[in-house]
A and B are shown apart, each in its own frame.
Chain A
Amino acid sequence: MIQGLAVLLLFQSLGEALVQLSGAPVPGPVLGLVALLAFLVWRQRNGLGEWKPLAQAADGLLAHLSIFFVPVSVGVMLYWEPLAREGLAWIVAIIASTVAAIAVTALFLKHRLGEPGDEESPP
């Protein structure tokens, strides 16, 4: 668990370092994600199985992914005024675009991947 966390922090640092060096307009942790993914795929290609401490640390963090959004979301208390003033615009935009994106993506995949077998069906 601790070793896994250390590896995640190492790749996070690597991502931040790459952003600093390259000036790329990308958050550091995203480059860390890409670097770690490349490393894990390289491990797979060489027939190495999943490294347990890393899997444990990652699964542990992702099981409670929601909590990491809380501190910054509480910052909404600083923005009541613009949010309320333009409430109609952003709420309509979010509902309309979410419906459209889900429908378009799912219909495209239904068309391309075909119908599933019966055991795949939702209730």
Chain B
Amino acid sequence: MKNGLAAQLPVGLSHALEPLAEVWVYLAATPLFGLTLTLSAYIVADYVSARSGRRPIANPVLWSVLAIIAVLTATGTPYRRYFEGAQFVHFMLGTATVALAVPLARLWPELRARSATLLGALALGATTSIVVTLGAAWALGASPVILASLLPKSVTAPIAMGVAEKVGGSATLAVVFTMTTGIVGALIVAPLLNALGVRDWAARGYAIGLASHGIGTARAWSVHPRAGAYASLAMGLHGVFGALLLPWLGGWLTR
């Protein structure tokens, strides 16, 4: 765990760096390190994403994670040590989930008026997603832990993590799959729906929010506010129904 770089430096320089190395060893052992690294990496990645005009490929989660892994690997810091600091950010994921109630409440009158159609679309889209996911992964020989972690991949990550753990998967794998699903959806949604001739922002937003949760929803907001509103709605509904029904489905499938 001692600074791996110092050992490779010339003796004189290494002596000069010794107090710095001690400071590093001290800081790396406090929660401050993981917390600061998380916020700094995200701020840089989010800035680059904004400057790129929110291109899907410049996804801030993807690039913060890669940057943090690079720093942890280079400094020989184990994940557990990093998480001691990053857990404070992680904790707020639950609070952010509760906060989704606020945009949903704003849309409540319109949601109620269209509830039958929107719930039908949710049932159809969610079922399609699960059948194709599990069918393809199973046919290609995925192991049970991968299958269980794939099950909730279209619902928003905080819920997907909880569901994956309930059905014998891994919360971390579920997040990897959820993030990949979000990025894939954000990349393909516009060309796909243009090809299919779907021009209604409500339908376009709802479809991406249902299939690709937060990342798809962020994408929809950046294109049109109506698409964003419907994406939030679909993400929220899929999250609530996913949380309620997927653990039951997972238990039934693994029986």
B124 contact from A58, A59, A108, Cβ within 8 A: A108
Does the CB pair B100–A33 fall under 8 Å?
yes
Closest to A75 in B: B172
Interface of A is mostly: helix
A-contact bits for B174-209, CB 8 A (1 contact / 0 none): 011111110011001110111011111111101110
| Alpha-carbon separation in the docked complex, A61 to B105 (Å) | 16
| Alpha-carbon separation in the docked complex, A116 to B203 (Å) | 10
A-contact bits for B98-133, CB 8 A (1 contact / 0 none): 111111111010000010010011101110111011
Per the 8 Å Cβ criterion, residues 74-123 of A in contact with B are 74-79, 82-83, 86, 88-110, 112-116, 120-122
* Closest A-B pairs by Cβ, 6 of them: A27-B162, A71-B86, A105-B125, A40-B105, A58-B102, A109-B203
Per the 8 Å Cβ criterion, residues 135-183 of B in contact with A are 136-137, 140-143, 145-146, 150, 153-154, 157-159, 161-163, 166, 170-173, 175-181
Taking A66-B42, A72-B90, A105-B207 as known contacts, 18 extra A-B pairs with beta carbons closer than 8 A to each other, sorted by chain A number, are A26-B247, A40-B101, A58-B99, A68-B92, A71-B86, A73-B175, A74-B86, A76-B65, A82-B143, A90-B142, A98-B184, A101-B211, A106-B193, A106-B196, A106-B207, A114-B200, A122-B194, A122-B204
Which residues of B approach A to under 8 Å, CB–CB? 34, 38-39, 41-42, 46, 59-61, 64-65, 68-69, 72-73, 79, 82-83, 86-87, 89-90, 92-106, 108, 114, 117, 120-122, 124-126, 128-130, 132-134, 136-137, 140-143, 145-146, 150, 153-154, 157-159, 161-163, 166, 170-173, 175-181, 184-185, 188-190, 192-194, 196-204, 206-208, 210-212, 214-215, 218, 223-224, 226, 234, 236, 239-240, 243-244, 247-248
Tally of contacts, chain A with chain B, CB under 8 A? 339
B201 neighbours in A (Cβ, 8 Å): 116, 120, 122
